[in-house]
Every structure is written in C-alpha cells, then in structure tokens.
A and B are shown apart, each in its own frame.
Chain A
Amino acid sequence: MGANMRSFKTRLGMALPFTIIAMVVVVGFIMTMSRMNQGVKNQIFHTNNHQLSFLMAYSALSRVCAKIHSFSWANRPFVTDPLVENKVALQGGEYDLLVENSKNRDFQADVYVRTHLAGISRMYFWRVRFNDDLLDVSNQIFVEAFLNADPKDFPVAGKANPFASRVESMLAQRVANQKKSDQLAREIIKLKKPNDIIKEINGRPIAPGDPGFPPPPEDIEIAKKEPVDVPQMPPLPGSEKPSAPGPRVNVPPSATDSMVGINMNAKMASVVSSSKSAYDYTDQGWKKIEEKGVGGMSEATDLHTQAAEAREKAFDDMSDLITDARTGINDAPSSGAAKAIEEMVSQTIVAGVQNLGNALNRGMDHLDNNAGSDYLNSLPTAESVAKLTTDWETALVNVTADVTRMTELANEIGPFAKAPEVEAALAAALEQARANVEQLTKLVEDAKKRLEELIKKEEEEAERLRQQENESQQ
C-alpha cells in the first residue's frame, strides 16, 4: 500500500490544475460576456419597452374613442360612473384603464392608461373632447391634454384624484400664457438666426466653436440657409364670398327684431285681414242696396264707411310691412334668404292688393255691362244727372287715389323678388284697378256730356216755355 501511495503520489502532475484553472477562466469569461449581451439586450428591451408601452396606451385610448363614438356622448359608458378596466391583455402586455368625465367641462373626458410590459409600468394621461356637432362630418375627437405620468398617480375610482387637479392648474396656466406665447411665436417666426431666437426667448447665446475644429460643410450649408416663410393658403375667391354682408352694424338692435324684419307675422296677418275686410264690407254694403234698394242705403253707407276704414288700414299696414321687411332683407345672411323674405312680403302685399282690387271691382259691379250708361241715360233731369256726376266724380277721386296707392305699393315692391305667378297676379290686379279708373273716368265724361246736353235741353225747353208764355201774354 505504501508503494501504491508512493506511485499515486509520484503520478500527480500539473494537467489537472491547469485544466481546472482554464475552465474557471473560460466559465468566468462566458458569464461576463453573457451578462454584457444580456445588458445590451436589456437596453434594447428598455428602449423597445418605451415605444411599445406608448403604442399599447395609444391603442387603449383608441378603444375609448371608438366606444364614445359608437355609443354617443349621452350614452357613453362613463356617463355616471368611471369606466374601469384592469389587466386588459394587449400586444404582449397588460393595461389598466380609467375613464371619467372631466370635472366642470362639458363633453370632455379624462383617460388614464397604466401599461405593464415585462415588469415595467408606465402611465399616460389624455384629456379628450367630444365634438357634439350634428354638422360635423369628420368625427374628430380632440386631444386637449396629454401627459406622461408616474404610474403611482393612477387614480382609484371614487377616491380623490390629485393628478386631475394638477392637470387643471397646468391647463389654466396654458390659457394664461396663450397671448404672450402667440406674440412671442409671431416674433420668432420672423427671425433668421438661432442666436436671434435664443435672444428672443432670453436664452444663453451660443458660444463660438473652437476654430481648430471647423464645422463640416453641411453644417456651414445649413447655418447659411434662411428659414422659409410659413406657407400660405391662397385668398378666398370672390365668387365664394357670402352674397350678403349680414346684419348692418350701424342699426341698433330692436326687441322686435326677427329673421324676416320687425314683428312681421302680426303685420302680415293684419294686411291680409284688413284688405279682406275692405272687400267684405264693400260686398255687404252693395248687397244691402241690391236687396233693399234705396231702403238699404243707410246700412250700405255704414258698411261702406267701414270698408273705407279697412282700406285705409290695409294701405297703412302694407306700407309699414314693406318698411319693416327691409330690416330683415337688409340684414339677411344671403341673397337667397333676402329673396325668400322678399317673396313672402311681396306675396302678402299682392294678396292685399288683390283683395283691395276685388273690393274696387265689387264697387264697380253695378256699372258693368253698360249698366252705368243705361242708368245715366235713364235720368231725366239735369239735376239728377248733376248729382250722379258729383257722386261719380267723388268715386273717381277715391278710386284714383286707391289705385295710385296700389301702384305706389307695387312700385315699392318692384325690386323685390317675386315668383312669376305673383308678378302676374299683381299685374292683373293693377290692370283691373286701372280699368276701373278708366271706366269711371269715361262714365264721368259721359255724365258731364249728358249733363251739358240736359242743361242745354232744359235751357232750350225753358226758353221755349218762356217764349211760349211771352207769346201767350201778348
């Protein structure tokens, strides 16, 4: 055994220790390199995590916007209580979501997304505004605020949310800075050199570089480059401008202002009713005479007086209507709106003129078809003819005055838009009214002739009688 021990001892060499040492060194190196590789992979992973987390959060926000759009704002999932979703799997990670109405802001929501991706948590905040506009075509939902935040600020539903208060104060500060910021931006956009901009924003000017290391040509090139002007849209073509300027600035507001003028509905109704009344009373008056003859004269006179009053009112109403309508027409937002008002007013005026014309016609009915001439010729005495002539002259003055006023009104609405049918109706009414004047004028002329004839005849008769009497006395 001793010999074996000795032989064992003498057989120990350095191969084993060397091998062990070599293996230790190699293993150590492998571990170092692996860690370095892993370190590189970790860093890439972290950079990747930064972007992937953002995309995950953006996807969560997109889902919230899609929900709001699909449900309508009134039926949004968080209308009364916050919408909470936890550990929603997405794109290799998970997210927590809380959506709630923004405090004291209509149609706005606060969206909190906390992402978890391979052990790293991040939080993102959006405040979005829903565009409750039935004329909106694009369906935009606006982002009013976005922030990267600390995951520990993720709110708990039903509990106080200090983060939201911080957002409010930041937004308030943003609003407070808006004007100054716009003015500063307006100055900056005019500046050509970075140092000028830095000076404008009170920064520290750029120190010069070491001349021993001049900038490369491309840097010199870009430093020489002048900033371009902000690209502009061409101006609005003239043909696209509104066809009317809208409300006149030099006219004070009125409590009775309306889209169509000043208190138009009542005025229009009054035109129609008073002109209709003028016809009705005229018609009723003549019916009394037709039914009762001379016995109905008294009632007829009363009715004709009311007709005259109604006629006066109708003329005044129409005049006022045109004046009031001009407010609406002149303040209309477009020529189309002005035209619609003009057509409405002119139609009403024409309806009134028609009614008044009909009243005139009714008053002339008893003279139609030579009835007037026949009656004139039936009168035996100059006195009766003289009375008739006086009556007819008075009637002619009144009718002429009425027709003159109707014509004036027609001229006033001359420039107003009218449908062809309305134009034709107006022309017909005026034509008939003028025909009445002509008819009455002729009748007066005939009456005067007849009166002259009768006077001459009566004088001749009187002379003949006087001569007869003289002859009989002699």
Chain B
Amino acid sequence: MKMQHKSGTTLVELLVVIGLVGLIGAAGMHFFTSVNTSQKAFSQQAILQMESRKAFDQIIDQIREGTDVIRPVTGETMHYMVFRDLLNQVNMLYLEPNNDESVRLKQRVYRLVSYCNDFSGAYNKANEKILHNSIKQLRFSSLSPSSVQVNATVVSDKGEYQFLAHVGLLNVGGIE
C-alpha cells in the first residue's frame, strides 16, 4: 500500500515555531533594548564630550590669538575672563543664565557668551557670540599673564561632562 505524504504545517509545529520564535524574539528584544539604552547613554556621553570639545576648541583658538589676560589676574580664579585680542580689543567670556535650558534640564544652566569691545562706544550685536548653550559651571584660572586654565562642566539631558584645559596666549611680544 502507498503511504500518503501530506504537505503543510501541523498546528503543533506551528505553535512550537511561534512559541520558539516568540521566546527568542522577546529575549533578544529585551537584551537589545537594554544594550541599546546603555549604548545610547554611552554615545550621548561621547557626543556630549565631542560637542563640548568642539565648542571649546573655538574658544581655545580665540584665546590663543590673545595678547594678555586682564582678569583673572595671576593666581586668581573667576567665573569670567577678560582678555585682549590680537587687535588690542577687550574681549570678555562670561556666563548668562539660559532659562529655557534650565526649564528643560530642571536645573540652573548657563550660556557661554563672548563679547568683544570695538571701541565704538556702543553695544554691537555682531560682536556678541553665544559659544555654548548649556554650561553648568565655568572657571578661569590664570597661572601667568599669558595663559589661562579653563575648567568647564557641560550639561545635557543625558548627563554632564567636566573637563580641564590650559591655553597659552601666544601674541605676547616683548617690552622692547
């Protein structure tokens, strides 16, 4: 007698497959989600570092082209910095409360402002730049009239990043 081979999937097979796939999928999704979360956290941290650094590289270039530090004086730490640039214009880096970001991050957050005095006698919007929008803390310490240490804490909704930099002002010249 010939055996009749029937094609198709039995209910049991279907249930087993669905069950197995579901189990693996759930476990995988769970692990994927948790690793993805930590990945996002790490990458946010890295992104936070990189973005802070990018902004401060611009500040470093600006300070490097300076001639001398007016405030803080040698040995002093202040939360702002006043220095002279290559054209002898007085520049100031200081913090201003960023209320929108404060509301978003639910803590006091500042924006880093740079203003350059061009001796025109009046405020000039073009001389004002917002260098960063979410600074938690900023300190400038001067170890010599031609260098400054920057201690900055940048904050985002994913965390905060604090770093230290030492920048020399290179347009020093001589007393001759």
- Direct contact between the two chains A and B in their complex (CB within 8 A): yes
A474 CB, nearest partner CB in chain B, Å:
116
Contact of A213 among B70, B106, B122, B171 (CB under 8 A): B106
Is residue B38 contacting chain A, with contact meaning CB distance below 8 A?
no
Contact of A181 among B65, B84, B172, B174 (CB under 8 A): B84
- Are B46 and A40 interface neighbours, CB within 8 A? yes
Cα distance A6–B5 when bound, in Å?
A: 10
- Are B171 and A47 interface neighbours, CB within 8 A? no
Residues in B whose Cβ lies below 8 Å from that of A6: 5, 7
Interface hits, B57-74 → A, CB 8 Å: 57, 61, 64-65, 67, 70-74
Is residue B156 contacting chain A, with contact meaning CB distance below 8 A?
no
Is residue A189 contacting chain B, with contact meaning CB distance below 8 A?
yes
Cα distance A308–B141 when bound, in Å?
A: 83
A148 CB, nearest partner CB in chain B, Å:
5
B32 — nearest CB in chain A belongs to which residue? A29
- Are B73 and A228 interface neighbours, CB within 8 A? yes
Interface hits, B98-137 → A, CB 8 Å: 99, 102-103, 106-109, 115, 117, 119-124, 128, 137
Give the number of A-B contacts (CB < 8 Å).
170
Q: Which of A199-207, A390-398, A456-464 contacts B (4 or more CB under 8 A)?
A: A199-207
Q: Which of A172-180, A331-339, A427-435 contacts B (4 or more CB under 8 A)?
A: A172-180
- Are B122 and A197 interface neighbours, CB within 8 A? no
Residues in A whose Cβ lies below 8 Å from that of B128: 203-204
Is residue B158 contacting chain A, with contact meaning CB distance below 8 A?
no
B89 CB, nearest partner CB in chain A, Å:
7
Answer whether A202 and B120 are a contact pair too, CB < 8 Å, given A10-B7, A209-B99: yes
Interface hits, A1-25 → B, CB 8 Å: 6-7, 9-10, 13-14, 18
B89 — nearest CB in chain A belongs to which residue? A177
Is residue B94 contacting chain A, with contact meaning CB distance below 8 A?
yes
Is residue B143 contacting chain A, with contact meaning CB distance below 8 A?
no
- Are B107 and A147 interface neighbours, CB within 8 A? no
A33 — nearest CB in chain B belongs to which residue? B39
Answer whether A185 and B86 are a contact pair too, CB < 8 Å, given A14-B17, A194-B80, A203-B123: no
Cα distance A146–B146 when bound, in Å?
A: 13
- Are B137 and A201 interface neighbours, CB within 8 A? no
- Are A10 and B5 interface neighbours, CB within 8 A? yes
Q: Give me the 3 closest cross-chain CB pairs, A-B, nearest first.
A: A209-B97, A10-B7, A146-B170
Q: Which residues of B contact A (CB under 8 A)?
A: 5-9, 17, 21, 39, 43, 46-47, 50, 53-54, 57, 61, 64-65, 67, 70-80, 82, 84, 86-90, 92, 94-97, 99, 102-103, 106-109, 115, 117, 119-124, 128, 137, 139, 170-174, 176
Pull 13 A–B residue pairs with CB atoms less than 8 Å apart, ordered by A: A7-B5, A10-B7, A43-B50, A143-B173, A146-B64, A147-B65, A174-B88, A184-B90, A201-B115, A202-B121, A203-B92, A213-B102, A227-B72
Query: Other than the known A185-B70, A203-B128, A231-B73, what 15 A-B pairs have Cβ atoms closer than 8 Å?
Result: A10-B8, A36-B43, A47-B50, A129-B173, A142-B176, A143-B173, A148-B61, A181-B90, A185-B84, A197-B82, A204-B115, A208-B97, A213-B109, A216-B108, A227-B71
